[in-house]
Structure 1
Amino acid sequence: MRLRHRLGSWFRRLPVVTRLVLAVAVTMSLVLTGAAGLVYWRVETALDQQLNDDLTTYQRSLDQAVRAGTKLPPGPSGSLQQVLDGQGSVLRSSDALRHELLLTAAELDAVAHGATVRRDVGSLLPITSDTLRLQARRVTAARQTRIVVAAVRRGHRDEALRELLAQLAIASGLTLIAASYVGYRTARAALRPVERYRTAAATLADGAQNTRLDVPADHDDEITRLGHTLNHMLDRLDASAERQRRFVADASHELRTPLTLIRAELDVALHRPRSAGELTDTLRSVDTEVQRLIDLSNALLDLEELGSAGHTTALPVRLADLLDTAVAAHRRTAERAGRVLIVDAARVTVDVDARWLRPAVGNLVDNALRHGRGAVHVTAAVEDGRLRLRVTDDGPGFAPDFLPRAFHRFARADASRASEGSGLGLAFVQAVATAHGGTAHAENTGQGATVTLVLPC
């Protein structure tokens, strides 16, 4: 078990190409060994069958001669013959044998009791001389027991098998070398794109920007799909890095003004003794800027969360209830301004992410109350499986030069940073629409401004 574990650990530490070549070599070795064994067995069986047929025919002729008491007939080239009595004494024998017994004592005993003995003398490997296949049977002649031994040379059969073994070894070796080479070249070719991907990834690790893997467009295999997946991952990483850079840039750019104002207010307050009323005004100003910082930070964090998540969780919600909740916080503001807030929503259930859509509608209503005039209309209906939501007002509308950049971060119709709002409201609305797989559009209707959201539901 420990040796197996060590071999497994050693194998896993090898390069992938080496492991593949070893796997191919081992598999091909097993296949070639099995095929060679089958071929050898079939040829050996055929040769043995022919040799046994010759031996049996020779044995019969000897048996007949012994029974008839005639001269023993000659056999195949190089064959031998021997006739023994019941006690194992040699009665007749080939000149090459003289009085040398071909059978052992045990074999003599077995044949004397009626068994037929067949065995080989000499081995295939290593090469030996005088290789034979003999067969012995008991024969009754003139009421006397005789043991007849017939033997034929195995030289041609053994030579053919040795030649076959040599040819099979050479053919298997060459086939194994060729298969290993083809496996090596195939593995290298298959893994070459992976090495290119690794090299490109190394350049990314060294700080290269906007690098993408060179993936062929006319292939559709596992390596190609891996390349597309890695490129998609690099796109996501670049987008994430870009969001982080934008977040840091936006935060540092937009937070500087309120922080500077807070510092200025505090410096003035500490410059000389102030009355209680002056200190109260200073604290109120600082509180305003702090609230502005909080709103700005929350807006930036919401945008970052939407951008990084890249998707929403759509759940069934009643459309009318969602809009009523979204505008509830703004009704008192509208009443104080003497304006009307009208909600006209279809009585249907839609699949949207209320967590994000609710504040998006609130931002649109807040913008309409802050920058528009007259009544604010919030209408929503479902057409062809898509939710079409509009917020309109009766104000002057968007400035023509502002419309193309209305959904940009920190875009304001009033370029002064002292104006109300962070410039992130419409950017947040577009982020919500994009996360839902929809669109956001701003336009002037001639009687005011309209912002339209179209979302799948």
Structure 2
Amino acid sequence: MTLHGRLLPQLRRLPVVTRLVLAVALTMSLVLTGAASFVYWRVRTALDQQLDDDLTTYQHSLDKAVRNGAQLPPGPSGSLRQVLDAHGRVLASSHAIRHQTLLTPADRDSVAHGATVRRDVGSLLPITPGTLRLRAHRVTADGHQRIVIAAVRRGHRDEALRELLAQLAIASGLTLIAASYVGYRTARGALRPVERYRSGAATLADGTQNLRLDVPPDRDDEITRLGHTLNHMLDRLEASAERERRFVADASHELRTPLMLMRAELDVSLHRPRSAGELTETLRSVDAEVQRLIDLSNALLGLEELGSTGHITRAPTSLANLLDAAVTPHRRTAERAGRDLDVDTTRVTVDIDARWLRPAVSNLVDNALRHGQGTVRLTATVHEGVLTVCVTDEGPGFSPDFLPRAFDRFARAEASRTSDGSGLGLAFVHAVATAHGGTVHADNAGNGAAVSLRLPC
């Protein structure tokens, strides 16, 4: 396995803050190394240029003196000079080096063949005493070949470069430490809300209710947007849990009554022998309660489906056909009660979800027939993209204390839960209106009740 393959899994196991600090430190190290290298290169180039200029000037003066047979001139402070014959014997030399030759045999051979040799003696690091930069080439004087060597000391240049390296190392180290500290503080500060959100989520997992994350209202960055998203998720989770709790509570509460009635009917039937007519009546009573349970279950499931998803599928639908399908099942009931059922609408096409709107209208008609009196009128109009469906009757209307809770689940005008109906009809209508982005309103109009449903279409 390669080094990269071994290090990557280990890095991934580190905390995010540590990884961020390491990334900042590595990046800053590369940047500082590049910057320090550039500065060092520029300074060294300038120092070398100055040193080479001094060496070239001194070399020219030595060459001129050797050609003219004049005395060798003094050079810059600390400079050295040496003149050799073609065989490498020292003809003239600075007092500091006397008869010590500055060139190697290979360098002398190169110069003797016309090459110019330029090289450094000694190293920058580790520190070497007596460092030089020399230049040597061949000069002809009085018909003889001479090797002229000019050398200048590099002590000041090397000392300046060593000091520069030390200063760059100190500055780079301090900058790296400062950048790492700032990166650490920045990463901790940026991730502190995330840790707070994690702690809040852990509290929620422990069963805390109504928990919301503390999101600063005056910010709009990635972390605050994450907080808003998590709060929105918590809202949906709480609403879902509340719907589930209400569903279970409502179902258990409402299913208890018909089940107890059926149990009572069966207990009475089994308590003593019954005639065929009495058993038939008992079975009819049980059948009515079973149908009530089925209607109640369907209503609860419909409400839960609408409340949990809020999803509807709009499609072009004939309004007249939809209302006819909603009203037809109730016409026989109206005839048996000697009541009229009028429908007033126009043949237009509306963009709604017929799967949910049809049973909602049917519930309104059923409530009017069940609890109202006289003629039941169903009117539907479309104006400026809004469908208005209104159902009225000629009964006593809604009681004043019932109107504020008319669309609550299991709300009934009668106090007894044994009364006809489940108390879910208007709640279902309200859920359908909400899913369509519309409204529903209940009121007393004239001499009866009126329920109006308004939906964008």
Give, in whole Å, the separation in 1 of the partners of 2:23 and 2:320.
66
Partner residue of 1:217?
217
Q: Does the residue aligned with 2:410 lie in a helix, a strand or coil?
A: coil
Letter in 2 for 1:321: N
Partner residue of 2:11?
11
Partner residue of 2:202?
202
CA offsets per residue over residues 406-433 of structure 1, 9 Å max, x none? 1111111222222211000001111111
Q: Compare 141-150 and 64-73 and name the one that shifted more.
A: 141-150
Letter in 1 for 2:455: L
Partner residue of 2:144?
144
Q: Does the residue aligned with 1:398 lie in a helix, a strand or coil?
A: coil
Partner residue of 2:172?
172
Letter in 2 for 1:129: P
Q: Compare 161-170 and 338-347 and name the one that shifted more.
A: 338-347
Partner residue of 2:52?
52
Give, in whole Å, the separation in 2 of the partners of 1:316 and 1:53.
93
Aligned CA distance change for structure 1 residues 439 and 95 (closer, same or farther; 3 Å): same
Give, in whole Å, the separation in 2 of the partners of 1:416 and 1:146.
132
1:44 CA displacement: 0.6
1:319-398 map, 5 Å: 319-398=319-398
1:362 CA displacement: 1.2
Aligned CA distance change for structure 1 residues 407 and 73 (closer, same or farther; 3 Å): same
| Structure 2 unaligned residues grouped into runs of 5+ | none
| Structure 1 unaligned residues grouped into runs of 5+ | none
1:344 CA displacement: 2.9
Matched, 1:277 2:277: yes
Letter in 1 for 2:42: R
1:90-109 map, 5 Å: 90-109=90-109
Give, in whole Å, the separation in 1 of the partners of 2:111 and 2:324.
113
Give, in whole Å, the separation in 2 of the partners of 1:8 and 1:357.
59
Letter in 2 for 1:200: G
Aligned CA distance change for structure 1 residues 24 and 106 (closer, same or farther; 3 Å): same
Q: TM-score, normalised by structure 1?
A: 0.95
Q: TM-score, normalised by structure 2?
A: 0.95
Give, in whole Å, the separation in 2 of the partners of 1:111 and 1:381.
112
Partner residue of 2:89?
89
Give, in whole Å, the separation in 1 of the partners of 2:426 and 2:240.
21
Q: Does the residue aligned with 1:283 lie in a helix, a strand or coil?
A: helix
Partner residue of 2:262?
262
CA offsets per residue over residues 360-398 of structure 1, 9 Å max, x none? 111111111222233322222233332222122222222
Q: Compare 75-84 and 50-59 and name the one that shifted more.
A: 75-84
Q: Does the residue aligned with 2:29 lie in a helix, a strand or coil?
A: helix
Letter in 2 for 1:134: L
Q: Does the residue aligned with 2:269 lie in a helix, a strand or coil?
A: helix
Partner residue of 1:419?
419
Matched, 1:188 2:193: no
Give, in whole Å, the separation in 1 of the partners of 2:347 and 2:150.
109
1:139 CA displacement: 1.4
CA offsets per residue over residues 11-60 of structure 1, 9 Å max, x none? 22111211111111111111111111111111111001101101110111
Give, in whole Å, the separation in 2 of the partners of 1:280 and 1:382.
50
* Contact 2:433/2:454 (<8 A) preserved: yes
- Aligned pairs, how many? 457
* Contact 2:257/2:418 (<8 A) preserved: no
Give, in whole Å, the separation in 2 of the partners of 1:382 and 1:113.
110
Q: Compare 40-49 and 74-83 and name the one that shifted more.
A: 74-83
Give, in whole Å, the separation in 1 of the partners of 2:65 and 2:132.
22
Q: Compare 323-332 and 154-163 and name the one that shifted more.
A: 323-332
* Contact 2:405/2:411 (<8 A) preserved: yes
Partner residue of 2:32?
32
Partner residue of 1:308?
308
Q: Does the residue aligned with 1:129 lie in a helix, a strand or coil?
A: coil
Partner residue of 1:435?
435
Letter in 2 for 1:234: L
Matched, 1:132 2:128: no
Aligned CA distance change for structure 1 residues 346 and 144 (closer, same or farther; 3 Å): farther
Q: Does the residue aligned with 2:130 lie in a helix, a strand or coil?
A: coil
* Contact 2:364/2:426 (<8 A) preserved: yes
Give, in whole Å, the separation in 2 of the partners of 1:109 and 1:37.
37
Aligned CA distance change for structure 1 residues 51 and 316 (closer, same or farther; 3 Å): farther
1:2 CA displacement: 4.0
Q: Does the residue aligned with 1:410 lie in a helix, a strand or coil?
A: coil
Aligned CA distance change for structure 1 residues 315 and 101 (closer, same or farther; 3 Å): farther
**Aligned residues with identical type, % of pairs:** 79
Q: Compare 442-451 and 329-338 and name the one that shifted more.
A: 329-338
